[in-house]
Structure 1
Amino acid sequence: HNLLHLFSATRKNEVCSIRSKFPNKLPVIVERYIREKTLPLLDKTKFLVPFELTLGQFLCLLRNKIELDSSQSLFLLVADKTMSCMSSSMGDVYSRYRDADGFLYITYASQEMFGAPQPAARPPC
């Protein structure tokens, strides 16, 4: 339990440092879905994202980083919820779903994880 608390405190300090250096950027951690088999791991998991960037634009950015071809789907899960509103700003998503440690956690997968409808899975990049 102490180790978990220490880890959380370290992340909180990291967020404070990031937010003071980059007040107009949001700290986001992106991880591959635990049972994902086809998509590669990202070479980095921490991102600083502008408030006004939309979730759809962020999805496009991730597609480019993962180097997906246009026929492959990419789904995002924010704070364990499937996101369908790709026009939401990252600032809005962050304010609603950020973790207690200050990071916004996003999971990616090649297919729907929980069967919720997601019509905006592939916005035009």
Structure 2
Amino acid sequence: MKRLNKKIHVIIPNTLTHTTIMSMAGNMSLSLDLNATSFKQRKRLDSRIHEVNRVKNRFPYKIPVIVERSPREKRLPRLEKIKFLVPPEITMGQFVNTIRCKLPLPPSHSLCVVVGGRELASLAMTMCQVYSENRDQDGFLYLSYMSQDVFG
């Protein structure tokens, strides 16, 4: 008898935090695709606020940043790690370079980073300036990235 291993991707509300659920039959595992939705959609507001407060107490001089792939981006993969604690004195350009190093981006493509889903980030601003102007109500700074063809 051949045993089939099937993966079913489902989107589950914020109440579940485990990435894999074993079905009652035992022959099928349900893999939750937590990357299908944004961090804000997966976590409730009070949970995000609690997480920011915990991080700020432990690392008071760091900025909590969430970096996610833009929903319109199809070529670049999602980052393995989306939560960053960033020193306030580095520039947005330095942080974008850090993100670029974590992605398989060819030299002919540029990396665009959008702050809060609304505007392109000024690469000359410090992370402290970007955070003070654009932080979310939960205390995180949300950035999304996408690739852009530069040379044709």
Cα RMSD of the aligned pairs, angstroms, is 2.2
* Cα shift readout 1:55-95 (whole Å, capped 9, x = no counterpart): 00000000001132322210000012232521100010000
* Cα shift readout 1:22-74 (whole Å, capped 9, x = no counterpart): 01100000010112111111001100000011000000000001132322210
Would the aligned equivalents of 2:92 and 2:121 in 1 still touch at CA under 8 Å?
no
- Which residue of structure 2 aligns with residue 75 of structure 1? 112
Which of 9, 12, 17 is the matching residue for 2:46?
9
Largest Rg, 1 or 2: 2
Figure out how many residues of one structure are paired with residues of the other and give that number: 111
- Which residue of structure 2 aligns with residue 60 of structure 1? 97
Of the two structures, which has the highest relative contact order with CA contacts closer than 8 Å and spacing of 6 or more? 1
Unaligned runs of 5+ in 1: 113-120
Which of 104, 122, 125 is the matching residue for 2:141?
104
Q: Which moved more, 1:93-102 or 1:60-69?
A: 60-69
Deviation at 1:106, TM superposition (A): 0.2
Unaligned runs of 5+ in 2: 1-14, 16-40
The secondary structure found in structure 1 opposite 2:44 is helix
TM-score of the superposition, structure 1-length normalised? 0.81
CA distance in 2, matches of 1:63, 1:80: 18
User: What residue identity is the alignment partner of 2:135?
Assistant: R
Would the aligned equivalents of 2:76 and 2:104 in 1 still touch at CA under 8 Å?
no
Do structure 1's residue 24 and structure 2's residue 45 form an aligned pair?
A: no
Q: Which moved more, 1:78-87 or 1:32-41?
A: 78-87
The secondary structure found in structure 1 opposite 2:56 is helix
TM-score of the superposition, structure 2-length normalised? 0.67
Judging by fraction of residues, say which structure has more strand.
2
Q: Which moved more, 1:62-71 or 1:46-55?
A: 62-71
Judging by fraction of residues, say which structure has more helix.
1
CA distance in 1, matches of 2:141, 2:148: 21
